[in-house]
Amino acid sequence: MKRRTGQDRSVTQNWKPATLAIRGGTARSEWGETSEALFLTSGYAYDCAGDAAARFAGEQAGMTYSRLQNPTVEMLEQRIALLEGAEACRATASGMAAMTAALLCQLQSGDHLIGGRAAFGSCRWLTDTLLPKFGIETTVIDARDPQQFADAIRPNTKVFFFETPANPTMDVVDLQAVCDIARARGITTVVDNAFATPALQRPLEFGADVVAYSATKMMDGQGRVLAGAICGTEDFIVNTLLPFHRNTGPTLSAFNAWVVLKGLETLDLRIKRQSENAIRVASFLEGRVPRVNFPGLPSHSQHNLAMRQMDAAGPIFSIELDGGRTQAHGLLDALGLIDISNNIGDSRSLMTHPASTTHYGVAPEQRAIMGVGEGMLRLNVGLEDPEDVIADLDQALTAVGL
Ligand SMILES: Cc1ncc(COP(=O)(O)O)c(C=O)c1O
């Protein structure tokens, strides 16, 4: 590969995150293209049968099949690993493919997992439905309290699985405290870092073992493709994840990898501006609605912890209205600029009613325990002028009597 490609860690180790986001992992072809090449190929041709055999035997460098390797996907994996400060990364077809693979590759019947109870609906489905179906015991706890992790440990506990901040309650997990508990007991921590991304929070620095992503969110950042990623040690990725990933095939397409590579170039700029915009919008909402769940606000009970482990609070938060689903849906229906959409991390401002969308599949009594009420709305603050977003919310709130 060519000069200054970013493939060589001795070259990149001194680069700062903003540089890594643009150049990390770049591997130029013989044409020397400046922008990353998109390799739309499912297979690779060999000069002779012996080369094919040697590559499959691992005796010759090179690619064999795009479920296993693809140059564009590898560039993305290198870039995410560099940004995360991880030894290795494997990209996946979606965030849920990442969460599922990160858990199933290391758990087996008879093991026990402790999960944060506040979590994205499909992540709760993994802990509540999928894992128990395969004989893996699970316990969900209030992950804001590290002691609850310690108290729930059993002799067969293998994994702690949680997101911070959590979707959509914005519960913050004390990364250092929880990772310390896990380390002391030989338990693997799997952190879903979708809301923060490595631009704002790097769980490995606090002792986490595995960091998993929905790259569909801030990493793409413009609502275009589904993607995911799993970061960890070389040993975990190569010896634990890869056998599962290569043979079950939750592989990221080269096209989607290319889109996320382009997204990462502006991640730092976008997430910082969107975080600032979110503070402006949340400050407006405070006092106007009964509750604003945003660790970025000094009034939030976990503000100090969030600011200790995050560089900024991110673009996503939730609010709670007292008028239940009727008032929440009424507010959504009165919006003019903000889209009603269950996606997040987009450069557009989006709003959703979790109880009837992202958390529809979670049993109502579980939703209540998680704190996802009928009056909750989740907001992703985009890159629009925050004054326009505030004006839209102002008129929608007035329309529902607030
Ligand atoms: C915290 C979190 N984890 C995982 C996912 C799943 O990601 P994907 O939709 O890319 O499968 C989401 C999606 O909203 C999420 O918010």
For 79-138, how does the pLDDT look when each residue is reduced to its tens digit (9 = 90+)? Answer: 999 999 999 999 999 999 999 999 999 999 999 999 999 999 999 999 999 999 999 999
CA atoms within 13 A on the CB side of 110: 1
Atom of ligand 1 nearest to the CA of 344: 14
Q: Is 252 in the pocket of ligand 1 (CB under 6 A)?
A: no
Q: Which residues, in sequence order, are CB contacts of 383 under 8 Å at separation 6+? A: 270, 273, 274, 277, 347, 348
**CA 172, CA 40: separation in Å to the nearest integer?**
40
Residues 360 and 279 in one domain: yes
**Domain-located, residue 3:** no
Count structural domains, the chain.
2
Query: Can you spell out the DSSP letters for 285-345?
Result: HBTTBSEEE-TTSTTSTTHHHHHHH-SS--SEEEEE-TTHHHHHHHHHHH-SSSEE-S--S
Token pair in block for residue 254: 């080269």
Is 2 a domain residue?
Answer: no
How confident is the model over 138-182, as pLDDT tens digits? Answer: 999 999 999 999 999 999 999 999 999 999 999 999 999 999 999
Name the residue with the closest Cα to ligand 1, atom 10: 95
- For residue 241, is pLDDT > 60? yes
Same-domain pairing of 248 and 277: no
Residue 374 has pLDDT above 60, yes or no: yes
- So what's the pLDDT on residue 7? 58
| Ligand 1 in reach of 94 Cβ (< 6 A) | yes
* Closest-lying ligand 1 atom to the alpha carbon of residue 228: 10
In a domain, 137, yes or no: yes
Distance 372 CA to ligand 1 centre (A): 17
How distant, in Å, are the alpha carbons of 32, 171, 210 from that of 113? 47, 19, 14
pLDDT of 36 reads 97
| Ligand 1 atom closest to residue 226's alpha carbon, by position in its atom list | 10
Is the same domain home to 218 and 299?
A: no
Does residue 384 surpass a pLDDT of 90? Answer: yes
Q: Look up residue 35 and give its amino acid.
A: S
Q: Find out whether the beta carbon of 171 lies less than 6 Å from any atom of ligand 1.
A: no
Residue 58 maps to a domain = yes
- The Cβ-side half-sphere exposure at 17, using a 13 Å CA radius, reads 16
The response to whether residue 226 sits with its C-beta less than 6 Å from ligand 1 reads yes
Task: At 170, list the tokens.
Answer: 């914005």
For residues 254 and 342, state if they share a domain.
Answer: no
Nearest to 317 by CA among 174, 143, 165, 203: 165
Q: Decide if 4 is inside a domain.
A: no
85 and 203 part of one domain: yes
CATH number at residue 67: 3.40.640.10
The verdict on the CB of residue 174 being under 6 Å from ligand 1 is: no
The shares of helix, strand and coil residues in the chain, as percent rounded to the nearest 5, are 40, 15, 45
Mark whether 296 and 163 lie in a shared domain.
Answer: no
Mean pLDDT of 263-275: 97
C-alpha 305 – ligand 1 centre gap (Å):
23
Residues 243 and 367 in one domain: no
Q: Are 119 and 192 in contact (CB under 8 A)?
A: yes
Domain that holds residue 187: 9-264
Q: CA 208 to CA 106: how far, in whole Å?
A: 15
Please determine, for residue 40, whether its predicted confidence score (pLDDT) is greater than 50. Answer: yes
Q: How confident is the model at residue 12 (pLDDT cuts 50, 70, 90)?
A: confident
CATH assignment at residue 341: 3.90.1150.10
Ligand 1 atom showing the smallest separation from residue 97 Cα: 11
Last residue of a domain, one of 211, 236, 264: 264
Mean pLDDT of 60-70: 96
Give me the pLDDT at residue 8, please: 64
pLDDT given at position 196: 98
Closest by CA to 123, choosing from 106, 111, 140, 135, is 140
Clarify whether residues 217 and 247 are in a common domain. Answer: yes
**Final residue before a domain boundary, out of 244, 264, 284:** 264
What distance in angstroms lies between residue 344's CA and the mean position of ligand 1's atoms?
9
Cα–Cα distance for residue pair 379/369, rounded to 1 Å: 21
Residue 213 shares a structural domain with residue 330: no
